[in-house]
């Protein structure tokens, strides 16, 4: 029994560490090389989109608000799903009186381990709910700020840049919280499989990291930026010569 619990602990810890290590690496890559990640490229493009929408609010205001409303609806759907699943997990934790050891394929079958598993799943869904609520908050602020007629209110170009940059940061914060809420759902999948044993949980962590790598990393935009930089350098050298 002790060897089984040790295997459960080792495989579960290894799977979670694998997920955490991948996301720490992803955060470092987003900060240092944003053009080589999908999140970084999308953040850059959102800044350009906000500037384009705010150049002429009379023409682009409806389009901007409609786009942000779609994002609010997506965050609302994830938040509602997370709180519903949290309620379901809470019911299973408090009302599960049957023999749940039959669910386990291979691993520890004590009630303590079941409580730990359900508690981690519950925390995961609650974190997803809170992150998506924050996403709704920032998107709601951005839907108002993006229609500010800053060209009429301010004559200083520096104020224009500050206003558009602030709105772009607000939109990006909403998107970051939405991405984090979605990652919480990703983390819940291995935890759900952990109910059936540590082996399915570890394998799901491995395949999930493998899948997320191809969804998060991109090299096309980085190559395009490098090519543009080389063209600019060639043009400058031609002018000097």
Separation CA 69–CA 140 (nearest Å): 8
Separation CA 42–CA 172 (nearest Å): 9
Residue 169 has pLDDT above 80, yes or no: yes
Band of residue 96 on the pLDDT scale cut at 50, 70, 90:
low
In tens, the pLDDT along 104-137 reads 555 556 677 777 888 888 999 999 999 999 999 9
pTM above 0.85, yes or no: no
Q: Residue 232's pLDDT is what?
A: 44
**220 compared with 167, residue with greater pLDDT:** 167
Q: Residue 152's pLDDT is what?
A: 57
**94 compared with 96, residue with greater pLDDT:** 94
Task: Give the pLDDT mean for 55-82.
Answer: 85
Whole-number mean pLDDT of the chain? Answer: 80
User: For the chain, how many residues are written?
Assistant: 241
Separation CA 113–CA 109 (nearest Å): 7
Q: Residue 65's pLDDT is what?
A: 86
**199 compared with 61, residue with greater pLDDT:** 199
Task: Give the pLDDT mean for 163-179.
Answer: 91
For 117, counting Cβ atoms within 10 Å of its Cβ (0-12 exposed, 13-18 middle, 19+ buried), the class is buried
Q: Residue 218's pLDDT is what?
A: 82
Task: Give the pLDDT mean for 146-164.
Answer: 62
**99 compared with 214, residue with greater pLDDT:** 214
In tens, the pLDDT along 173-214 reads 999 999 999 999 999 999 888 888 888 889 999 999 999 999
**Residue that is written with structure tokens 């990006």 in the block:** 172
């Amino acid at each position: 029994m002790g060897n089984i619990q040790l295997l459960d602990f080792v495989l579960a810890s290894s799977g979670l560490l694998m997920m955490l290590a991948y996301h720490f690496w992803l955060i470092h890559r987003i900060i240092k090389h944003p053009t080589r990640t999908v999140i970084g490229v999308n953040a850059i493009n959102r800044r350009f989109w906000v500037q384009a929408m705010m150049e002429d609010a009379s023409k682009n205001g409806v389009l901007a608000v409609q786009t942000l409303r779609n994002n609010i609806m997506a965050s609302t759907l994830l938040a509602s799903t997370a709180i519903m699943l949290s309620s379901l997990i809470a019911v299973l934790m408090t009302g599960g009186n049957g023999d749940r050891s039959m669910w386990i394929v291979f691993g520890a079958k004590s009630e303590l381990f079941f409580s730990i598993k359900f508690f981690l799943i519950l925390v995961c869904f609650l974190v997803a709910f809170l992150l998506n609520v924050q996403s709704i908050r920032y998107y709601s602020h951005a839907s108002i700020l993006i229609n500010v007629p800053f060209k009429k209110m301010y004559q200083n170009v520096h104020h224009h840049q500050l206003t558009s940059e602030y709105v772009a940061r607000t939109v990006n914060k909403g998107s970051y919280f939405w991405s984090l809420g979605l990652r919480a759902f990703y983390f819940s999948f291995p935890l759900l499989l952990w109910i059936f044993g540590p082996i399915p949980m570890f394998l799901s962590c491995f395949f999930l990291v493998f899948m997320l790598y191809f969804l998060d990393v991109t090299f096309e935009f980085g190559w395009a930026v490098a090519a543009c930089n080389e063209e600019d350098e060639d043009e400058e050298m031609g002018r000097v010569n």
